[in-house]
Amino acid sequence: MSFWDQAVEIARVDLQVERRIGDVLRIIFPFAVVALLVFPLALGIDLAAITRIGPAVFWAIGVLFGMQVALRQAADDRPERRDLYALLGVDPAARFVGRSMSGSLLMLGFMFALMVATLLLYSPRLPEGWPIPAAAAILLTSIGLTELGTLAGEVTAGLRNRTALASLIVAPLAIPLVLGGSQTLESLARDTGILPWLLLLFATDLALAVAGVGLARPIEEASR
Amino acid sequence: MRLEAVGANVILDGAGVSLGGLAVLRGISLSIGSAEVVGIAGPNGSGKTTLLRLLATLARPDEGSGRVLGATLGTTEVYAVRHDIGLIGHVPALIHELSLRENLEHAARLAGDDVSRIDRALRVVGLEGAADRKVGQSSHGMLRRAEAARLLLTRPRLLLLDEAFSGLDTSARDLVDALVERSVAAGGSVVMVSHDANHLASRADRVMTISSGRIEAPA
């Protein structure tokens, strides 16, 4: 079976498992919506402030809860499943790519659903022509966060408290993604050019993909 | 022991494994030939499971050396032979949210094996009526049968069984015996570990004992 066939098969089964257990849909997304609700409650009836902070709250909640989406595979990755994949001849890099693919699809769904919830709850003032830049920023941020979560899950495989450790790895490394995502719309509003921020997101995604694929085997062996 | 031993599928030469700074295996030397069934007996905590993981290339030797199916342990050569190694461990390596059949399909696809042989494998292990049960709805015996079905599909040259007979009824034990016979008939090697030396003696060509991480002597 080719590298890509293995990656697609792993992604397919990850999505099948998610469809059955529904971690993202039934647990993470509702909690993220509750978090979105907390800000307006704290601000009271200052509608102008609520409208102004909408996009910033979306990125903050999106990245924080997106980390949970990204790390859900690490929490579910049992040692015997890793052993099975090894003995079936699965390339660790194909496993990284497959998990990044399935995770990115889930993350995209999560982020777009969260965006709809933000639009409904905050009615934010958005600059003209926002949908395409926002979609691009959400797409690139989702891919980057998932790659980061998958990589952190691989690095912490076999360690105790791996979910907490993986979060500690993801949080600081997600800063370029938070900056790139949030500043894309800010720059559009100020008419200062969004390309540098989209390039930052793309470069981060590319660097994480290269690191994930290139380090997959050494990380796999180091965990044994 | 010389690593060049002729016809051996497994050769360990003074191999040792430490886990978290603790020496779990020390100075293990053994050779296992084609069509040979070797039993390794020992009490709980003696290093049996770690030895199987070493043979499965899932643990790295930090002293001595070894070769499994021609690949040197602790090197990237093991990637080329892992597909030829089958392991039944303490905990079934199955995805809980999938059915038994879906687990087999997933494994067969990843290994590049023929998915159309799954129905036959399920029949052989007596799971044709329970194939669509989720792993969480299946008994221990069913999970062992599903793992046996996976090994029928992947046909490993080195079969490693970790207490594979424990908790099984007579027909499931017969099934594992049949799996061993198939492997031997195809020229493969089989290593079974158990705390019960008598149980191994009836099934293995030779039985070794392991204690405190060292192979002691033929039982």
pLDDT at A219: 87
Q: Do the chains contact at A80 and B92, CB–CB below 8 Å?
A: yes
Q: What is the pLDDT of residue A75?
A: 66
Greater model confidence, A43 or B51: B51
Show the DSSP H helices in A22-130 as ranges. 29-43, 47-76, 79-87, 92-122
Which of A17, A84, A224 faces B93 most closely, judged by CB atoms?
Answer: A84
Q: Give the position of tokens 């497959």.
A: A98
Cα A211 to the center of its chain, rounded Å: 17
Query: For residue B158, what pLDDT is reported?
Result: 95
Chain A residues touching residue B95 (CB < 8 angstroms): 13, 17, 81
- Please give the structure tokens belonging to residue A162: 């791996």
> Which residues of chain A are modeled with pLDDT < 50?
none
Residue A186: per-residue pLDDT: 87
The pLDDT value recorded for residue A40 is 82
**The pLDDT of residue A208:** 96
Query: pLDDT tens across B77-112, in order?
Result: 999 999 999 999 888 889 989 999 999 999 999 998
Nearest-CA distance B94 → chain A (Å): 7
**Residues in B lying within 8 Å of A, measured between beta carbons:** 56-60, 76, 79, 82-83, 85-87, 89, 91-93, 95, 97-98, 102, 106-107, 109-112, 154
Q: With bands split at pLDDT 50, 70 and 90, how would you rate the model's confidence at B56?
A: very high
Per the prediction, chain A carries an average pLDDT of: 89
Interface predicted TM-score of the whole assembly (ipTM), two decimals: 0.86
pLDDT band at B1 (very low <50, low <70, confident <90, very high): very low
Nearest CB to B87 within list A17, A83, A90: A83
Band of residue B3 on the pLDDT scale cut at 50, 70, 90 = very low
Neighbouring CB atoms inside 10 A of B134's CB total 16
Residue of B58, B82, B98 with shortest CB distance to A89: B82
* Chain B residues whose beta carbon lies within 8 Å of the beta carbon of residue A87: 56, 58, 82-83, 85-87
* pLDDT score, position A124: 87
User: Cα dist. A201→A5, A139, A195 in Å?
Assistant: 27, 10, 10
The C-alpha atoms of residue B65 and residue B62 are separated, in whole angstroms, by 8
Task: Read off the tokens for A186.
Answer: 């800010």
Q: Would the CA dihedral through B83, B87, B88, B90 be positive or negative?
A: negative
Q: Which of B52, B39, B120 is nearest to B90 (CA)?
A: B52
pLDDT in tens, B149-196: 998 888 899 999 998 777 777 877 888 888 899 889 988 999 999 888
Tell me which CATH homologous superfamily contains domain B8-215. P-loop containing nucleotide triphosphate hydrolases (3.40.50.300)
